[in-house]
Amino acid sequence: MQYVHLGRSGVRVSRLCLGTMNFGPHTSETDSGQIMDRALELGINFFDSANVYGWKVGEGVTEQIVGRWLAQGGGRREKVVLATKVYGRMGDWPNQSRLSALHIKRACEDSLRRLQTDYIDLYQMHHIDRDCPWEEIWQAMEQLCREGKVLYAGSSNFAGWHLAQAQEAARSRHFLGLISEQSLYNLLERTIELEVIPACQAYGIGIIPWSPLARGLLGGALNQSASGRRAEEDVRKDIELHRQKLEAYEQWCRTLNAEPAAVALAWLLQQPAVTAPIIGPRTMEQLTIAMRSLELTLTAEQLKALDAIFPGPGGAAPEAYAW
């Protein structure tokens, strides 16, 4: 396993991050535990969750599954860099969502209880809260850090200017601020190349791409049976929308004798500022395929070929659209 620093921080994480969103809704607790055990055996030390995962309001189903796994001991907690998120709705009352200091404090305490741990390594804001001032957000995060309940802060789904705003506010408070940004990023969706990636590079923020396989579209969707998540109506529509690109992509992957999922992850691993794509295996087989991405190094010509199939926005702003 390869390890790198998470952004400009001193903490080192595996180049693949184990996403747990499927644990509960799509993967049984038994199978989830086996996947986490195997990931740890393979050297994956970066696990990502969120208080809303499990999709039962207020229950934190996935965090509970991860917590029961951690509670088995055997050095699990000590080996894992544990990440979770705050923002989503955890109840029907006004202060049971978003990023007020009140909700951040209560949500953190609830996540600690569900995860059966006394600290969260990376506490991420799941979305920007445009109605909450940074002074309030950073005050709440600083307090959690002082109490030892949170070690690092991260963001998710932030625009480039949000990252700059957050970091400048943190700097004025002599606070470390964000060390990571979790963004939608894959061969099909490259918008963050315009401003998010440049902002992350400028501020030393590591990028943790979510949906690296574009909900399975980049995982060989054309050759898979229409079952399970593949049968979802919106996924079928996306397959038809991108069929020409996907056909070219899967054919190109066959020339490499490599699984499309592994190629898509390998491409991300070679992009600027990317720390670790988040893999969300529902099965052990998917975990095995994801691991093969670490053995793939794409040449300049191969990267150019992928750009031809999946054109990006043209690079960073403003040159992507102006001189």
Residue 159: HSE in the Cβ half-sphere, 13 Å Cα cutoff? 6
Report the distance separating Cα 316 and Cα 307, nearest Å.
15
**Catalytic-residue membership of 53:** yes
Q: Is the peptide bond before 277 cis (omega within 30 degrees of 0)?
A: no
Given the residues 3, 53, 119, 321, select the one marked as catalytic: 53
Tokens of 52: 């809303």
Supply the DSSP symbol for 84.
E
* C-alpha separations of 192 from 18, 111, 230, 255, 320 in Å: 22, 29, 26, 29, 12
CB burial string 22-41: b at 16+ within 10 A, e below: bbbeebebebbbbbbebbbe
Report the distance separating Cα 298 and Cα 12, nearest Å.
24
- C-alpha dihedral (63, 279, 145, 72), degrees to nearest 10: 50
**Residues in CB range of 20: below 8 A, 6 or more apart:** 32, 36, 47, 48, 49, 53, 62, 65, 66, 280
At residue 217, what is the residue type? L
Answer yes or no: are the C-beta atoms of 217 and 188 closer than 8 Å: yes
Answer yes or no: are the C-beta atoms of 110 and 60 closer than 8 Å: yes
Active site residues: 53
